Amino acid sequence: MKKVFAIVILAVVAFACSSNDNEGVNNSQNYDRTAILTNWADNIIIPAYQNYNDKVSELYTKTTDFTQNPDETKLNELRTAWLSAYEAYQYVAMYDFGKASILYLKQSANTYPTDVAGIENNITTGSYNLDTQIQFSRQGFPGIDYLINGLGDDAETVAYYSNTAAADYLTAITAQLKSIAEQVTNDWNGTYRNTFVNNNGTSVTSSVNVTTNNFVRNFEKDVRSGKVGIPAGIFSNGITYADKVEAYYKNNVSKMLLNAGIKAQQDFFNGKAFNSTATGPSLKSALDGVNAVRNGENLSTIINNQFAAIYTANNQLSESLSQQVTTDNNKMLNAYDAMQQNVIYIKLDMMQALNITIDYVDGDGD
C-alpha cells in the first residue's frame, strides 16, 4: 500500500512539474477535431489496415502453398511473407478500438513470448479454440515465428511438416490472422469510418480521445515496455529476458520491428499519410493550434526532436535485441530512457495541452 501511495505522489509531482513547464497553452481546444479525424481515417488508419490485410492475405497464400507441398523454397517464401506482414502489423497496432478491440486483433496477433508447449499440445491433440484468451500466446506472428524459424535448420523444418497435424495448425493460425484482418478492414471500409469521424466531441468516449489514448498507451506499453523495457529487465529488478522479444526465433529482426513501431507512432503524431510524404491535421497541428510550449519551445518540436533521439539510441542496438540484452544491456536501457522521455512529453504535456483525459491505468510502476 505504501508503494502504491508513493507512486501516486510521484505521478502527481511529475504532472505538476510538467504543467509548470508547459507555458502559454491556450486551453480553448483550438483545433478542428473533425478535420483531424478525417485525416486519421482516410489517409492513415484505413490505408494502414488495407496494407496489413493485403500482407496477411499474402502470408496465408504462402502458408497454404508450403503446407500443401513443403520444400525449402516455399519455406523461405513463407518466411518473407511472415516478416512483411509482421512489419505491416506495427502500423495498425495502436488502433485497438472498434472491431479490432472486439476481435482482440492485437492480442491474437502479437502476444509474446510464444507458448511453445501450448502450441505442441494443440498440434498433438488437435483440440483448441483460437478465440479464447489462453490461446493468444499460441498463435499470431510469434506462434508462426516458432513454427517456421524455431524448429531447426531448413531441412528439419520441412520434415516437421510431414506431420499433417502440424501443417493444419500452421494453416489455422494464419487463417485466424487473415480472418480478423479482413473483418476489421471491411468494417473501416464500411459504416465504421463515418461513425468514427462523426464522433467528434470532447467526451472520454469521443474518437479523438479514444484514438489519442490508444496512441499514448501503445507507445508506452507495447513499444517502450514490451519491445525494450521487459527484455531489458526494467520491471524485474535488472533480471533480463532474452526470450521476451519480438521474433525471438528469427532472432535478427527485433530491432527492425522496434523501429517500425516507433516510425508508425511518429508518423501518426505528425498526421503523415500512410506510405506518403503528405501530412494533414494531426496531434502535432493541434498542439501548434493551442500554442503548446515547453520552456519557450513548441511542444510539437520537442516531441519530434525526442523521436530523433530515440532513433539515435536505437542505432546503437544489435539487430537482435535478445543478443543485445546479453552482450550489453546498457544500450537497451539507454533506448528505454529515450522513449521514456517522450512518454512524459506525450502522456503528460500533450494530453494536458489538448484537454484529453488519460483513460487507462499505468500499473508497471514506472
Neighbours of 300 (CB within 10 A): 23
Distance (Å, rounded) from C-alpha 24 to C-alpha 9?
26
Q: Residue 298: beta bridge partners?
A: 293
**Amino acid symbol at 121:** N
Distance (Å, rounded) from C-alpha 363 to C-alpha 366?
8
Burial class (CB in 10 A: 0-12, 13-18, 19+), 183: middle
| pLDDT mean for each 10 residues of the chain (366 residues) | 38 41 54 98 99 99 99 99 99 99 99 99 98 99 99 99 99 99 99 98 97 99 99 98 99 99 99 98 98 97 99 99 98 99 98 96 58
3 state SS of 251: coil
For the record, the C-alpha cell of 138 comes out as 499460441
Q: Residue 279: beta bridge partners?
A: 272
* pLDDT, tens digit (0-9, with 9 covering 90-100), for 141-187: 999 999 999 999 999 999 999 999 999 999 999 999 999 999 999 99
Which long-range contacts (C-beta less than 8 Å, at least 24 apart) are formed by 4-12?
A: 7/365, 11/362
- Tell me what pLDDT residue 326 has: 98
Helix (H) or strand (E) holding 297: strand 297-298
- Tell me what pLDDT residue 14 has: 43
Identify which of 224, 231, 264 has the alpha carbon closest to the alpha carbon of residue 247.
231
pTM of the full predicted structure?
0.92
CB 209 within 8 A of CB 310: no
Burial class (CB in 10 A: 0-12, 13-18, 19+), 116: middle
